[in-house]
Structure 1
Amino acid sequence: METHRVAVLVRDGVLPMELGLVHQLLGTARGGKGDRLYELRTCAIPGPREVRTDADFPIRAPYGPEALSWADTVLVPASHEEDEGLVPGGLAADLRTALADAADRPGTRIASICTGAFVLAAAGLLDGRRATTHWLASDLLARTFPSVTVDADVLYVDEGAVLTSAGEASGVDLCLHLIRTDFGATVAADVARRMVVPPHREGGQSQYIQRPLPEHDLTSTGAAREWALARLGERLTLGEMAERAAMSTRTFSRRFREETGLTPMQWLTQRRVERARELLEGTDYTVDRVAAEAGFGTGTSLRVHFVAGVGVAPGAYRATFRGR
């Protein structure tokens, strides 16, 4: 299996947590023979050089701009020193040129973590695209770069060639998404188990945005979600889920969205798509049986939702990822 090459572009003020999680998650991904699936290079522009962090220690980036032309994926972590002061065209010329060249190369994707989205926006890579960043910086990103559609509710946004993620820990969600996209749900789930994190975190960052405290009798919808997860293959209704939480459907829907960032049916569809991915990778079930086991009922319904959620048909997905 061909190794995927990743350049991690660091700048003064980089957050060590974000740099570390990229290396830890992608570096943990393994193929069937235990071979590494990603090769990572930490680089700076200009570089190689020593780079300040937002902690009390520096790091050394052993590579310079040549790493971006080598990479299949360029990842840009946040910098507390630089990001939120960026304006359109405000990047240093050498950095802007290196990112533009990478973006123009066919097959290369560029991703950011947290306020690293400001770098992509300043380079013009988010113009006309949907993007996210830390919720505390989302309004500033939208005001500074009005050509970017900022979504502050999600953990990450995948626009194909360009991806952005929310606050620091959302870098975990982004990296697992990249692994799923590149090598399948089974590999991503194995990495998640090793890191002791969920392979797919529910909802978006909207659940973490500071808001007035809810009414004192707020009851979690978690029990209803657990109940539904154990019955994905069955026909589930909003009324049944609300009944498990002892709420009206209106109250349940409102609280569900507050806790997950999704409507109950959006959440249920996402979980069913993830279940279908697991079955396509790990079993020889027909598409119709996968549809039934995942709760879509028919192969036609599965295909519609799978293409909408994953981007390819179930058969094509299985041909790509079966046995990895």
Structure 2
Amino acid sequence: MALRATSRPHRVVVIAVDGVIPFEFSIPARLFGAARDATGRPLYEVTTASTDAKPVRTNSDFTINPAANLSDAIRSADTVVVPAVELAELDPHQVDVVIETLRHRPRGSRIMSICTGAHLLASAGLLDGRPATTHWNHTAEFSREFPAVRLDADVLFVDDGDVLTSAGAAAGVDLCLHLIRHDQGSTVANAVARLCVVAPWREGGQAQFIEAPVPDNEDASTTSTRAWALERLDTDLTLASMARHASMSVRTFTRRFRDETGTSPNQWLTRQRIDYARRLLESTDLPIDQVADKTGLGTSASLRGHLRTAIGVSPSTYRRTFQPAAMNSGRTETYPLV
């Protein structure tokens, strides 16, 4: 959903409850708070709220003092954030208040969770029948407790329009940057990423972070080959040519590549080409066939097919949605599962 045309900053309310995890709790204020327009004006206003405006215990050895009462802050919220919580430390009364608040949030607002915050969204029934994600270490428990949710344990985040969920910890950074890019365009999102010294986007899903054996020979890495390939996306890269560059057999290269990235070389290569195409669609006016050629996706028909498979929209629709000019048009559009 695109931002409504307005002169005031987009209002973000971050909910704090006992057991909140400090790192994930701080992500929205840091990322959204760094977004500025060309004149330096803040594009977001971030407020922290608790159920009773009293100090909240974190899962560490300190408390935080929210600035507002949730029932008051929610009235003007454009985006509501439920950060990660230590599930064993949740206060039932606070949970009930949050669930009721989420169910009656302002019309037209969107809601996002970070990590285990998805449990509160699911408890409120907001994820029933919808795609969602959470930290990989909690997916089995989540699936048992909320069978109506279409849980995807492999992705960093899911954007289902007005309800968004992210995987563990730093995936909250990925989701905030995604929303900033959606709301304000790539230029602003990239500036925020540079200021916060984080990657503007990360390749692969959270499968790459699930506990797995360390490769036997750590010196034999595919990192340099991935960098080499990224500079040649418009060429005819093959599995054999990448293995040759890495001085490995195809079989060894494929196994090592999956160990390091959580995906196969061909899947990774296609994703890089799609991501490059998205950046070109966001930042240039190149015709669709030229974007396809520059990214190694071949024809405009191939680009359309890949983009629709990856994110559910055509190149022209994506360009209209994500270029800054479209962001200021006042249109409301829905961006599907990423």
Normalising to structure 1: TM-score of the pair? 0.87
- Cα-to-partner distance string for 1:12-62 (whole Å, 9 max, x where unaligned): 1212211222111111112233322222121122x2221111233221222
Q: Give the whole-Å Cα distance in 2 for the aligned partners of 1:62 and 1:290.
A: 47
Does the Cα contact within 8 Å between 1:6 and 1:40 map onto a contact in 2? yes
Query: Which structure carries more relative contact order (alpha carbon 8 Å, separation 6+)?
Result: 2
CA contact (8 A) 2:19 2:85 kept: yes
Deviation at 1:185, TM superposition (A): 2.4
Distance (Å, rounded) in 1 between the aligned partners of 2:95 and 2:218 = 53
Q: Which range is displaced more, 246-255 or 180-189? A: 246-255
Question: What's the counterpart of residue 146 of structure 2?
Answer: 145
User: 2:104 is matched with which residue?
Assistant: 101
Bigger drift between 223-232 and 200-209 goes to 200-209
Give the Cα–Cα distance (whole angstroms) in 1 for the partners of residues 153 and 321 of structure 2.
32
Deviation track 1:98-137 (CA, whole Å, cap 9, x = no partner) reads 11122xx553322111111111121122222332222222
Partner residue, 1:198? 199
For 1:61, the equivalent position in structure 2 comes to 66
CA contact (8 A) 1:228 1:236 kept: yes
Aligned match for 1:28, one of 18, 24, 34? 34
Q: How many angstroms apart in 1 are the aligned matches of 2:16 and 2:236?
A: 48
Q: What amino acid does structure 2 have at the position aligned with 1:49? A: K
One-letter identity of the residue aligned with 2:119 = F
Kindly indicate whether residue 299 of structure 2 is the aligned counterpart of residue 298 of structure 1. yes
The alpha-carbon deviation at position 85 of structure 1 amounts to 9.5
Aligned to 2:158: 157
The Cα RMSD (Å) is 2.6
Q: Say whether residues 1:77 and 2:77 are aligned partners.
A: no
TM-score of the superposed pair, with normalisation by structure 2: 0.84
Deviation at 1:149, TM superposition (A): 3.4
Indicate the larger mover: 115-124 or 150-159.
150-159
Q: In the aligned structure 1, how far is the partner of 2:217 from the partner of 2:256?
A: 13
1:290 Cα offset (Å): 1.9
Runs of 4+ in 1 over 6 A off after TM superposition: 83-86
The match for 2:318 is 317
Aligned residues of 1:118 and 1:141 also touching (Cα < 8 A): yes
Q: Deviations over 1:202-245 (max 9, x none)?
A: 22222222234443477322122111100112222222222222
Distance 1:32 1:81 in 2: 41
Structure 1, unaligned runs of 5 or more: none
Summarize the Cα distance change of 1:274–1:34 in structure 2 as closer, same or farther, 3 Å threshold.
Answer: farther
* Percentage identity across paired residues of the two chains: 51
CA 1:147–1:249 in 2, change beyond 3 Å: closer, same or farther? farther
What amino acid is the match of 2:12? V
Partners of 1:127 and 1:257 in 2: CA distance: 33
